[in-house]
Amino acid sequence: MARLSLFILLLLLSLVCITGAEKPVRFPRRSRSRAYIENACTKTLYPSLCIQYLSVSANSMTIQTPQQLAQAALSVSLYKALQTRTFMLKVVKELKARKSKDYQAVKDCLDQIGNSVDQLSESVRELHRLERPDAEGGDNVFWHISNVETFVSSAMTDASTCLDGFPGRNMNKSRAMIKAKVLNVAQTASNALALFHRYAAKYKP
């Protein structure tokens, strides 16, 4: 547990400088971790986003195995969900103070993103349980794999439900920013699920 917690802490610290519409990180040379990430991300639905976020973590730690990649991807997704929830908490507070008509819609979306945070947190914990030595070769392996898949899928569904509350393109700046951040959560969760499937494949007969 200590090793996993340290990995996630280092990753989250390396992501602190990343916000919604970041510019791609530039590297003086193409490291082995970077090359590994680029190749793996081609199998996701949002490869550019995948490379952009995961390459940041390659600056501070080695990512050269499916396990390390799955850990990093789930942690990135959790980080983006936490970041979005923090932003929305501030917006909800401001809307409530102004008695804005947008308050309820944003509050409902905040509840959904809160659920996404919980689900993604559980997926990180469940991945750690999957990696425990006593899980190797037992029925627990498939139980943990199923749990991770369920948690991440649920996080994606919660984000999509939130997006349903913001239809159309004609919206104010606050709504547009919320929609962009929530979409980012859904996309990073999708990428994380794809990379987890790549890792979990080793357990399948």
pLDDT tens, residue by residue, 122-150: 999 999 888 775 655 456 888 899 999 99
Residue 118 reports pLDDT greater than 70: yes
Cα(76)–Cα(152) distance, rounded to whole angstroms? 12
Task: Give the phi and the psi of residue 199 in degrees, each rounded to 5.
Answer: -70, -45
Number of C-beta neighbours around residue 184 at 10 A? 21
What does the pLDDT read at residue 56?
A: 82
Q: How many domains does the chain contain in total? A: 1
Helices (H), 59-202: 66-98, 103-130, 140-164, 173-200
Residue-wise pLDDT tens digits, 53-90? 998 876 666 788 999 999 999 999 999 999 999 999 99
The pLDDT, as a whole number, for residue 30 is 54
pLDDT computed for residue 185 by the predictor: 97
User: What mean pLDDT is predicted for residues 156-171?
Assistant: 83
- C-alpha span between 120 and 125 (Å, rounded): 9
Residue 137 counted as domain residue: yes
pLDDT of residue 32: 83
- 8 Å CB contact between 169 and 108: no
Range of the domain at 185: 78-203
Q: Is residue 66 part of a domain?
A: no
170: confidence class by pLDDT, cuts 50, 70, 90: low
For residue 97, give the CATH number of its domain. Answer: 1.20.140.40
Give the burial string for 52-62 (b: 16+ CB within 10 Å, else e).
Answer: bbbbbbbeeee
Residue 51 lies in a domain: no
Confidence (pLDDT) at 16: 43
Phi, psi at residue 70, to the nearest 5°? -65, -40
